[in-house]
Amino acid sequence: MTNKKIAFFDIDGTLLDHDKKLPEKTKQAIQKLKEQGVYCAIATGRAPFMYKSLREELGIDSYVSFNGQYVVFEGKEIYKNPLSEEALQKLHVHAEENDHPMVFMNEEEMRASTPDHDSIRQSLGTLLLDHPAADEGFYSGRNIYQSLLFCEGREIEQYEEAYEAFDFIRWHPLSCDVLPKGGSKAEGIKKMIEAAGMTMGDTYAFGDGLNDIEMISEVGTGVAMGNAVPETKAVSDYVTTDVSEDGLSHAIYELGLLK
């Protein structure tokens, strides 16, 4: 690839504002980046089917999904890192005993372990997503790249101690992402820049959540949104304004990616 720079954008709280809308200035800035030869990609905890319309609106067909476990470059799968089915089954049984529901996701769809649970509805509702249909054995014989475990506060600690195959990252007061151990957006980004023939030093990343820490720490220039959690701001090279104040486009110009 001849482009000299590549930029990765988180979705929620970065590309999309607090109302899950794409600010016009953000859309314009990304179009200009592409016109000026900066390669643009998405890096998100979301599943690909959750942001297909956003990719189409921005004209982006390279993305890191499931916090790095499923990577697509130029429309082609280049990396897949599913959860251990054996460990996931054990976790499911454990969670059922504690009345902690789960959601299982692959690149095309998601299913819940129970047909109706308020914690699932509340947390996914913040992403403007409906409660998934139930299929408690959905993970059997399928590649599951990320699961959601619905529990509160320190309840997650029992799972962290019991399952060495997984990392647990809280994204909502009622829900944690379940990822393969060591999996992160940073690992997915490494796979993509290798495919693109670029280097980490030429890479920019923009994010706001706990799942953005590794990505922002390891790229050449890591940018935290003004609305980012303190832990993400602490490892960033630059902190921009809040997403509601056009923080993304502001950072793109301040860093000289656009002039």
Q: Distance between CA 194 and CA 182 in Å, rounded?
A: 19
Task: Please give the mean pLDDT across all residues of the chain.
Answer: 95
The reply to whether 160 falls in a domain is: yes
Mean pLDDT to the nearest integer, 223-233: 97
**Res 4: pLDDT:** 86
Q: Of 128, 163, 180, at which residue does a domain stop?
A: 180
**Res 2: pLDDT:** 47
Give tens-digit pLDDT for 12-51: 999 999 999 999 999 999 999 999 999 999 999 999 999 9
Same domain, 28 and 145: no
**Res 190: pLDDT:** 97
Same domain, 103 and 171: yes
Please determine, for residue 10, whether its predicted confidence score (pLDDT) is greater than 50: yes
The reply to whether 166 falls in a domain is: yes
Same domain, 66 and 139: no
Model confidence at 234, in pLDDT bands (50, 70, 90)?
A: very high
Catalytic pick among 10, 12, 17, 167: 10
Same domain, 46 and 103: no
**Res 8: pLDDT:** 98
The reply to whether 44 falls in a domain is: yes
Q: How many CA atoms lie within 13 A of 144 on its CB side?
A: 29
The reply to whether 125 falls in a domain is: yes
The reply to whether 259 falls in a domain is: no
Q: What is the pTM of this model?
A: 0.90
Same domain, 76 and 190: yes
Q: Of 148, 180, 212, at which residue does a domain stop?
A: 180
Give tens-digit pLDDT for 196-216: 999 999 999 999 999 999 999
For residue 146, what is the domain's CATH number?
3.30.1240.10
Same domain, 205 and 130: no
Model confidence at 131, in pLDDT bands (50, 70, 90)?
A: very high
For the question of residue 135 being annotated catalytic, the response is: no
The reply to whether 71 falls in a domain is: yes
Model confidence at 59, in pLDDT bands (50, 70, 90)?
A: very high
Q: Distance between CA 247 and CA 110 in Å, rounded?
A: 32
Q: Of 124, 157, 180, at which residue does a domain stop?
A: 180
- Enclosing domain of residue 38: 5-80+183-254
